[in-house]
């Protein structure tokens, strides 16, 4: 290929490093800005985030020729394996950071919201405040939820790669998890921070502001207990993952994992916890689920409701018997007292 000569110094890409990270590391070495360095690579006016999303073969060959890297190595730094509908999941930089990775190295997995561990060092990533999930959740809870998280991450990975093996996909699960299954309500006593009477008066607005209630809190009650009440609602559908905090992304990934493990029972849990309006919305979200799963839900939900009705009838009958007995005892007592 004819073109400008090879650059004298080229950094080898780090493990799973993304193209934008590699370009941003190389440019300062040549005392250039990123746009200047792109000119040097023969790609004037191109955006490095567009390049790393889809790198046309010709431009990949250009970078390979100029740097001496193989075309495969250059393409490996792009997100070509991610399908267009999942692009919003690819952040422009590391979502969370690994304390052992150099700050300027951004790896592809760290751009995705369901990565919670450094692919190189195997340590938990830290959020903007420097906290890891075991610190936010407690180490025990994090360990207990890990298997579900991994199951969820596998589903999300398949979805991002356009793998259609699964009948029930991540998009449908996320829509379900973020459905408002009950009407919005103010923070419950358990959700409120402990405060004095005066503080309660000062925070009256906070204490009476309705909070959106989503299926996620039923499928992942651990999240419901741990999440700060104002930061509990997640954005609807994909946006909850794409734009959520680390804790929200973790809860959604766990939720996806739990649904993948047992979709019918998770749907029933949410239907049972719903109020009337919410149940409508949940049923609407379930319409996108495969027919076989929906049939399973209908059959089981009908049985669960019947059992619940029977239980209530039995309970009522029991109460009636007890109150009758109680009255009998009372009248006996009365009889004893007056005699």
Site for Zn ion, rule CB under 5 A = 98, 100-101, 118, 120-121
DSSP state of 54: -
The nearest distance, CB 98 to Zn ion, in angstroms, is: 3
The nearest distance, CB 94 to Zn ion, in angstroms, is: 10
Residue 240 burial (CB < 10 Å; 0-12/13-18/19+)? buried
The pair of structure tokens assigned to 205 is: 């607005």
The pair of structure tokens assigned to 221 is: 């009650």
Cα 247–Cα 251–Cα 255 angle in degrees, nearest 5? 170
Cα 118–Cα 121–Cα 125 angle in degrees, nearest 5? 35
Q: List, in sequence order, every residue forming a beta bridge with 214; answer none if it has no partner.
A: 180
Closer residue to Zn ion (CB): 16 or 158: 16
Closer residue to Zn ion (CB): 124 or 224: 124
Q: Smallest Cα–Cα separation from 106: which of 37, 189, 17, 46? A: 17
How far is CA 223 from each of CA 57, 109, 188, rounded to the nearest angstrom? Answer: 45, 24, 15
The nearest distance, CB 113 to Zn ion, in angstroms, is: 17
The nearest distance, CB 126 to Zn ion, in angstroms, is: 11
How far is CA 135 from each of CA 87, 138, 165, 226, rounded to the nearest angstrom? Answer: 30, 5, 35, 11
The nearest distance, CB 96 to Zn ion, in angstroms, is: 11
Closer residue to Zn ion (CB): 98 or 156: 98
Closer residue to Zn ion (CB): 107 or 266: 107
Q: Smallest Cα–Cα separation from 218: which of 156, 154, 168, 285? A: 285
Closer residue to Zn ion (CB): 118 or 220: 118
Closer residue to Zn ion (CB): 27 or 101: 101
* Secondary structure (3-state) at 293: helix
Closer residue to Zn ion (CB): 98 or 215: 98
Q: What CA–CA distance (Å, rounded) separates 23 from 261? A: 41
* Residue 168 near residue 263, CB atoms below 8 Å: yes
The nearest distance, CB 101 to Zn ion, in angstroms, is: 3
The nearest distance, CB 243 to Zn ion, in angstroms, is: 24
Q: Which residues touch 168 (CB under 8 Å, ≥6 apart)?
A: 259, 260, 263, 289, 290, 293
The pair of structure tokens assigned to 54 is: 């889809």
Closer residue to Zn ion (CB): 100 or 167: 100
Instruction: At 26, give phi and psi (nearest 5°).
Output: -75, -40
The nearest distance, CB 100 to Zn ion, in angstroms, is: 4
* Residue 217 near residue 225, CB atoms below 8 Å: no
């Amino acid at each position: 290929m004819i073109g400008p000569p090879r650059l004298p110094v080229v950094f080898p890409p780090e493990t799973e490093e993304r193209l934008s990270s590699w370009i941003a590391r190389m440019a300062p070495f040549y005392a250039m800005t990123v746009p200047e360095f792109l000119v040097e690579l023969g790609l004037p006016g191109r955006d490095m985030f567009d390049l790393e999303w889809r790198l046309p073969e010709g431009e990949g060959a250009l970078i390979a020729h100029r740097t001496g890297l193989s075309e495969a190595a250059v393409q490996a730094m792009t997100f070509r394996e991610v399908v267009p509908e999942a692009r919003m999941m690819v952040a422009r930089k590391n979502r969370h950071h690994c304390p052992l990775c150099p700050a300027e190295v951004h790896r592809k997995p760290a751009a995705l919201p369901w990565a919670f561990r450094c692919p190189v060092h195997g340590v938990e990533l830290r959020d903007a405040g420097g906290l890891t999930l075991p610190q936010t959740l407690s180490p025990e809870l994090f360990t207990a939820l890990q298997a579900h998280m991994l199951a969820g991450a596998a589903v999300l990975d398949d979805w991002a790669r356009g793998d259609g093996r699964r009948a029930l996909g991540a998009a449908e699960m996320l829509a379900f998890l973020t459905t408002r299954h009950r009407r919005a309500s103010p923070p419950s006593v358990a959700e409120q921070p402990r405060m004095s009477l005066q503080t309660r008066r000062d925070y009256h607005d906070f204490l009476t502001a309705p909070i959106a209630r989503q299926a996620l809190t039923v499928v992942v009650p651990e999240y419901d207990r741990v999440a700060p009440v104002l930061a509990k609602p997640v954005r609807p559908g994909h946006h909850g993952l794409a734009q959520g905090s680390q804790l929200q992304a973790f809860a959604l990934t766990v939720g996806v994992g739990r649904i993948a493990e047992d979709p019918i029972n998770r749907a029933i849990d949410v239907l049972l916890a719903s109020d009337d309006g919410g149940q409508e919305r949940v049923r609407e979200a379930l319409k996108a689920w495969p027919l076989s799963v929906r049939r399973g839900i209908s059959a089981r939900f009908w049985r669960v409701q019947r059992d619940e009705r029977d239980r209530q009838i039995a309970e009522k009958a029991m109460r009636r018997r007890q109150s009758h007995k109680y009255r009998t005892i009372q009248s006996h007592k009365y009889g004893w007292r007056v005699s």
